[in-house]
C-alpha cells in the first residue's frame, strides 16, 4: 500500500516568508513522491491552526507527516500535544528547521534560501517515508552534563519525566509507558544532556540519497 504523506509549512509571521518563498516551496512539495496533502500556514504554533490541521490529517488519511517550520523547541510542545488529542502518533511526524537553519542564515539571499528550503523539504519527506509508527526510543540522559535545571520535567507535555534522588545523587527518570519519544526534552535541554536516537540509519541514507539524486 502506498504511503500518504502530508507536508505542513509555516511562514512564521514573516520570519520565514520574508526570505523564503514559502508558496513556491509548497508547490514544489506537491510534486514529491507520496505527498498527497500540503498545508501552507502563517503560524503552525497557533492552537486553532494546529487543531484544524489535526482534523485535516485524519480527513486525508495521512500516515506520515513532514513539518517545515521553526525550531522544534518552540513548536513541539503545542503541536505534539494537539497531535495526541487528535489521535495522531507523534512518531510519524518528522521535522526540518527552515527558519534558523535556512531563512535566517540566508537572509540576504532569498533565491538561494528558497532553493535550500526545497532541498530540506525533499529530505524530510524522504525521512518521513521511512518513519516507523511503532518504533519506540526513550531519552538517554548524560548525568555528567546535566545542570539540574528541571526544564525537562517542566516542559514534557506527557508528564513522563520526573526528577528525584537515587542514592543521594540527583537523578532523572523517564516513564517508558508515558514517553511518546517526541524529542521535546532533548531539543530543550540547555546542557545538551539528553539525547533521543530516533533517526534510523535507513532514514539518514534516504536523506543523503535524495540530495545526491537531485
Backbone angles phi, psi at 32, to 5 degrees: -80, 150
The partner residues of 169 in beta bridges, in order of sequence, read: 166
Query: Which tens digit of pLDDT belongs to each residue from 154-205?
Result: 988 788 898 876 555 667 888 877 787 777 788 788 888 888 765 555 656 6
* pTM, to two decimals: 0.68
CATH code of 140-195, in short, is 3.30.70.20
Query: Using an 8 Å Cβ cutoff, are 38 and 68 in contact?
Result: no
Q: Where do the H-state alpha helices sit in 20-108? A: 22-29, 47-59, 72-85
Cα–Cα distance, 198 to 49 (Å, whole number): 27
Residue 70 DSSP label: S
- Banded pLDDT at 95 (limits 50, 70, 90): confident
Query: Using an 8 Å Cβ cutoff, are 6 and 37 in contact?
Result: yes
Query: Which tens digit of pLDDT belongs to each residue from 33-62?
Result: 999 999 999 998 888 888 888 888 888 988
What the block records as the C-alpha cell of 70 is: 521553526
Fold of domain 5-134+205-212: Rossmann fold (3.40.50)
| Residue boundaries of the structural domains of the chain | 5-134+205-212, 140-195
Cα–Cα distance, 186 to 139 (Å, whole number): 7
Amino acid at each position: 500500500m502506498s504511503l500518504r504523506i502530508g507536508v505542513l509549512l509555516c511562514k512564521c509571521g514573516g520570519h520565514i516568508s520574508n526570505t523564503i518563498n514559502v508558496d513556491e516551496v509548497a508547490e514544489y512539495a506537491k510534486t514529491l513522491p507520496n505527498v498527497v496533502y500540503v498545508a501552507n500556514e502563517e503560524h503552525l504554533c497557533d492552537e486553532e491552526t494546529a487543531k484544524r490541521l489535526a482534523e485535516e490529517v485524519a480527513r486525508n488519511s495521512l500516515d506520515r507527516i513532514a513539518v517545515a517550520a521553526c525550531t522544534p523547541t518552540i513548536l513541539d510542545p503545542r503541536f505534539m500535544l494537539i497531535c495526541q488529542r487528535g489521535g495522531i502518533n507523534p512518531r510519524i511526524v518528522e521535522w526540518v528547521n527552515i527558519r534558523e537553519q535556512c531563512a535566517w542564515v540566508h537572509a540576504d539571499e532569498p533565491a538561494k534560501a528558497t532553493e535550500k528550503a526545497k532541498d530540506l523539504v525533499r529530505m524530510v519527506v524522504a525521512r518521513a517515508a521511512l518513519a516507523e509508527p511503532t518504533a519506540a526510543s526513550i531519552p538517554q540522559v548524560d548525568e555528567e552534563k546535566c545542570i539540574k535545571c528541571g526544564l525537562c520535567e517542566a516542559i514534557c507535555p506527557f508528564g513522563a519525566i520526573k526528577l528525584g534522588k537515587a542514592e543521594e545523587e540527583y537523578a532523572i527518570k523517564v516513564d517508558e509507558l508515558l514517553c511518546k519519544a517526541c524529542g521535546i526534552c532533548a531539543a530543550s535541554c540547555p546542557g545538551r544532556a539528553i539525547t533521543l536516537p530516533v533517526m534510523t540509519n535507513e532514514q539518514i541514507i534516504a536523506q543523503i540519497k535524495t540530495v545526491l539524486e537531485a
